[in-house]
Structure 1
Amino acid sequence: MKKLALVLTVSMLPLAAIAEDYVYDPGTYWTVTAVDTHPGHFDDYLENINGAWKKSMEMLIADGKVLSYRMMYNVNGANDEPDLYLMVEWKSGAEMLDTPRSYYDAQNEKLFGSLDKGQEQNIKRGEIRTIMGETLLREITFK
Structure 2
Amino acid sequence: MRKIILTVAALLMSRAICAQDDYVDGSYWTVTGVDTFPGQFNAYLTDLNGAWRKSMEMLIADEKVLSYKLLNNVNPREGEPDLWLMVEWSSGAAYMDTPRDYWDANARKLFGSMDNGAQANKARGEMREIKSNILLRELRFN
One-letter identity of the residue aligned with 1:53: W
Are 2:111 and 1:112 aligned? yes
Partner of 1:40: 39
Distance in 2, Cα, partners of 1:60 & 1:88: 10
Q: Deviations over 1:83-120 (max 9, x none)?
A: 10000000000110000111010000000000000000
Partner of 2:99: 100
What TM-score do the two structures reach when normalised by structure 2? 0.88
What TM-score do the two structures reach when normalised by structure 1? 0.87
Question: Structure 2 stretches of 5 or more lacking a match?
Answer: 1-8
* Alpha-carbon offset, residue 19 of structure 1: 4.1
Find the residue that maps to 1:89 and give its secondary structure: strand
Question: Structure 1 stretches of 5 or more lacking a match?
Answer: 1-10
Partner of 1:5: none
One-letter identity of the residue aligned with 1:21: C
Find the residue that maps to 1:103 and give its secondary structure: helix
Partner of 1:7: none
Percent identical: 56
How many corresponding residue pairs? Answer: 131
Partner of 2:65: 66
Partner of 1:21: 18
* Alpha-carbon offset, residue 20 of structure 1: 3.8
One-letter identity of the residue aligned with 2:33: A
| C-alpha RMSD of matched pairs (Å) | 1.4
Q: Deviations over 1:67-91 (max 9, x none)?
A: 0000110001023110100000000
Partner of 2:80: 81
One-letter identity of the residue aligned with 1:136: L
Within a 5 Å distance, the mapping from 1:114-133 to structure 2 comes to 114-133=113-132
